[in-house]
Structure 1
């Protein structure tokens, strides 16, 4: 089926779904395949539940129903349809990627831009080869701007995503040691994130928002129109930390005027994310007062540097993701916070490849310097790295230990990769 013909069917629909358990009336169902499922099998069910059309790539399931549309490859069709739709609307798009902070930066940028614009932005972390197309297919003619987050764990993935989204503006929050198993090396991380810059370099009138103090990003930004932000005076937006006990407070300056913000963000490492949002908002004409209000009102969700008061303890819950860069940043920030009793609960950092144990040893070395009152480590990588601290094979064993010896009146950092399931710990504290 030609993409133009499919697009005509898409325009008759009320959105797109790839989940036969969630079929809003009048939507377009696209049958994707996974390791343990084949969406083709559910096409008829999706139609019965209210979808207007169903797209399949297996003739066996096409049948005689004219509402079932046969294509060569449903995933490629989803991506082509999203790109076709993006081109038809011509909405200005800001692409965001980076090792750490991209989701928080996306949320902050979106909070700021919503003050002035009808904005579409990535929901949650739908930032991969499926999530990006689904985000683009939510665009309507009413949207004035879009913020699209792009994630990757292998070379070439950002390149593929930017050719679907075709952003006009871009920001790489930072580059760090994450997904090294897929990227092969830190240099591989830089090259892959830099695929966003590579795309924008070849596009007329593109603009990059550049963290001025990041040497890796400066090193790959040649030939780009850059709007710079950071802590160096005199940039388009510059800022300085004014407090972090535990919530981030900072001053930021643009066009010679300085403004103060008290946020609900935990961690001095969020200063750069907030400055990025201030820079992008200022560039797009959002007033300084609106920028400040949006940043002050934003409250993080989904286990991303959340402050939780359980009644018995105060927790910083950062259990959505972890890599050497974000782990060290979280520990450095926690070390600086003033509290009489500090406890650290860390889970393994995943997808680090052959150097994983060494990276975990570096974290342990820093823990040795910090002198926290109690340290609990969860997972096999930390077990291979040290025997000096309490260690547990999995989160259930850690929970049992915490229930046997309950912390009281402590400030507790909980951080690890999502697959370690440390997000289950707070309810037991």
Structure 2
């Protein structure tokens, strides 16, 4: 059996106790794959057909076409369809992935830190990496890979060059941690905290604590706070190291004092007074730093050495950032760190972007990978070839020394300053640029140079939250039900191709836009999904034909116009028929169906779908009307379908309908505002917040009693006070209705009211008594001060708040 870093497919079959069907049983396995779209090193890859939100067996053909020749499956597969392949048949594919990773972990003798808890796992892991990588060769979970799938993929990275592993484990229900503990096999355990996050999978907090503690069975040392331990819970670990802010502990923090940028922590440890200064001030960062402090001390580091290292911690940016770049470029900022695993993840995100024909990578040297430089850059070269990267800009002496390994357009610089001095010679234009660098290279300067200059008001869009909301709705669908995603009105104000790329990558079946120009913009950005246009204008029929857009036909007049326009040679052009069953906005009424069936030209047109719009799916008091609408729809549909020789797709449900009316899913559902975190049919917290609107303080003024603020002297401070002018106004989409104290924003975590009228480009806030300075961040809305709160303040709906955010406000997209 293998004791190194690679295995043959025959050895893998033995480890997972699977039945092998081999063409080349000596095939070497180096890379584990679960997604046919995110492949690397396919010659040595093993595809696990996991049954999760999608059945991985459905993507075997795609994986094969992309070069995979080794598979682990639990269903019967006709091997004759796939020449020169190896197959391992098991009972449970996910369990086999975990079993293989557990074996791989067991043959490597290294110290392993296992981290779990409700919050802070990823930050603690990344800070420990910063603290410990100076004198250890560390392997760690990429990003937040802490799930039943993510943990084994993380542990598989271990190679013979590593002497320390840091892995995080997250669970959502009972019975999950035991498998992860077998995979990680930690020698040091860290419990960050036990809070409300992910409580829904557990009976109570005590049950969740017991489940999480299973990770630490057999650890030498357990690091935790007594405040997070319930009475009567037995703790694992031969040795315990405790920390606390308010009770006796091995590390007892006695005093926390903060200024604008730093926090001084004074504590008692081993009967001595110790101190550390850290470059963070928020409560979560302070707690996470104390956990890291405790871990260093528990591992035997001297208190002074630990404090010295803590002072050098830097903020962790765990999310990829997609922004507009110079010269019609898109810029992906992943400049906080660089290792081979996170590079592969970032390249997959780069490949989701279809808006530009060219893909460029700006990459720094990679250090502490456990591989020789030649082996590392050979692997990166192969990765870039497989990910179809067009251009590489390498920064650092190591990557420059290995430039002959890269067969693509390339240029190299010894350091960041050298690149910035010559950046004007690089000719960036109409391309997507991924900036991926180790912290010490200071690539934030590269991002700043290549980013399009805009003002300081920003709408941040969390693509992970949007994806989570999409999966939430997909999880409610019966097998085979398709999904149409509404991306009209600039995706409800959130973006265009940035949102559509994500939806296309994650396999929605249809997109829907309001007008033809929205569809054209998506086509020009490389979106190939079918797109339904809800308001097709006769003047745009020609553009619809050229860009393969599918019109919604809602009246006899539109149908006649479209038939008159269609060139003689066109046949089976896809259209969608809208029926009016009670909305009384657009659509064919029952008495028009007979004429519609006569007028439909069955040779020139293909009716892809027939649908209606339910008017009150979220409101129980109108449930009988909803049922009446569906009944009308079914009768109208049957009449139409009978006149055709096929049965078009049926769809009636919108966002709230998916939540409340599972019996009416038919063939497809339409998900709109729910993707962005709003569904009137759901309880608060079931969807994730997608958008955060931020601005900054331009100026601060001290006002005397009864001085006025703004136009018409409408803002008055009877007792005087402090006013902050911020960079957002009604031209940015912040309604004038929010003036004179109606609207509120978050400054330094506190809600403060507007003062006076909202101006075109700015407004004023009463920040009396708050520590604030020019340039400070101001939150207009986020998950704390929610869009629904703003909508309530001015008696409107969340749709209006979100779609009103103007195009001049920069959109920044985050993806973890």
Flag whether TM exceeds 0.5 (same fold): yes
Cα separation, partners in 2 of 1:2 and 1:223, compared to 1, 3 Å: closer
Q: For 2:158 and 2:70, how far apart are their aligned partners in 1?
A: 19
Q: For 1:277 and 1:10, how far apart are their aligned partners in 2?
A: 44
Match among 144, 147, 155 for residue 125 of structure 1: 144
What's the secondary structure of 1:68's corresponding residue? strand
Q: What are the within-5 Å matches in structure 2 for residues 10-89 of structure 1? A: 12-21=28-37, 22-24=39-41, 25-36=43-54, 38-43=55-60, 45-46=62-63, 49-51=66-68, 53-63=70-80, 65-89=84-108
Between stretches 221-230 and 137-146, larger displacement belongs to: 221-230
Pair 1:393 & 2:393 matched: no
Cα distance, 1:139 vs structure 2: 1.4
**What TM-score comes out, normalization by structure 2 length?**
0.38
Preserved CA contact (<8 Å) 1:274 1:295: no
Q: For 2:149 and 2:97, how far apart are their aligned partners in 1?
A: 8
Q: What are the within-5 Å matches in structure 2 for residues 26-425 of structure 1? A: 26-36=44-54, 38-43=55-60, 45-46=62-63, 49-51=66-68, 53-63=70-80, 65-184=84-203, 187=204, 189-198=205-214, 200=216, 202-203=217-218, 206-212=220-226, 214-216=227-229, 220-222=233-235, 224=237, 225-231=239-245, 235-239=249-253, 240-245=255-260, 248-251=263-266, 254-255=269-270, 256=272, 258-263=274-279, 265=280, 267-286=282-301, 288-289=304-305, 292-293=308-309, 296-302=312-318, 313=456, 341=724, 370-373=750-753, 383=788, 387-388=792-793, 393=798, 397-398=801-802, 400-401=804-805, 424=813
Q: For 2:68 and 2:266, how far apart are their aligned partners in 1?
A: 50
After TM superposition, the runs of 4+ consecutive aligned structure 1 residues lying more than 6 A away are 5-11, 314-324, 378-382
Gaps of 5+ in 1: 328-337, 344-363, 407-421
After superposition, the C-alpha distances for 1:104-153 in whole angstroms (9 at most, x for unaligned) are: 11211222222322211111111111001111111123222222111122
Cα distance, 1:244 vs structure 2: 4.8
The structure in which a higher percent of residues are helix is 1
Cα separation, partners in 2 of 1:115 and 1:294, compared to 1, 3 Å: farther
What's the secondary structure of 1:261's corresponding residue? strand
Cα separation, partners in 2 of 1:107 and 1:19, compared to 1, 3 Å: same
After superposition, the C-alpha distances for 1:77-127 in whole angstroms (9 at most, x for unaligned) are: 101111122222243322211112122112112222223222111111111
Where does residue 2 of structure 1 map in the other structure? 14
Q: For 2:179 and 2:260, how far apart are their aligned partners in 1?
A: 41
Cα separation, partners in 2 of 1:371 and 1:54, compared to 1, 3 Å: closer
Cα distance, 1:389 vs structure 2: 7.3
Q: For 1:136 and 1:403, how far apart are their aligned partners in 2?
A: 44
After superposition, the C-alpha distances for 1:264-301 in whole angstroms (9 at most, x for unaligned) are: x4512221210111111222244543663355232221
Preserved CA contact (<8 Å) 2:16 2:96: no
Cα separation, partners in 2 of 1:167 and 1:229, compared to 1, 3 Å: same
**What TM-score comes out, normalization by structure 1 length?**
0.68
Cα distance, 1:35 vs structure 2: 2.8
Cα distance, 1:207 vs structure 2: 2.0
After superposition, the C-alpha distances for 1:375-394 in whole angstroms (9 at most, x for unaligned) are: 75579997499944787526
Cα distance, 1:215 vs structure 2: 4.8
Where does residue 356 of structure 1 map in the other structure? none
Cα separation, partners in 2 of 1:269 and 1:5, compared to 1, 3 Å: closer
Q: For 1:373 and 1:131, how far apart are their aligned partners in 2?
A: 44
Preserved CA contact (<8 Å) 1:62 1:70: no
Q: For 1:274 and 1:315, how far apart are their aligned partners in 2?
A: 29
Preserved CA contact (<8 Å) 1:95 1:149: yes
State the structure with bigger RCO (CA 8 A, min sep 6), 1 or 2: 1
Preserved CA contact (<8 Å) 1:111 1:294: no
Preserved CA contact (<8 Å) 1:97 1:193: no
Cα separation, partners in 2 of 1:215 and 1:180, compared to 1, 3 Å: closer
Which has the larger Rg?
2
Cα separation, partners in 2 of 1:218 and 1:135, compared to 1, 3 Å: farther
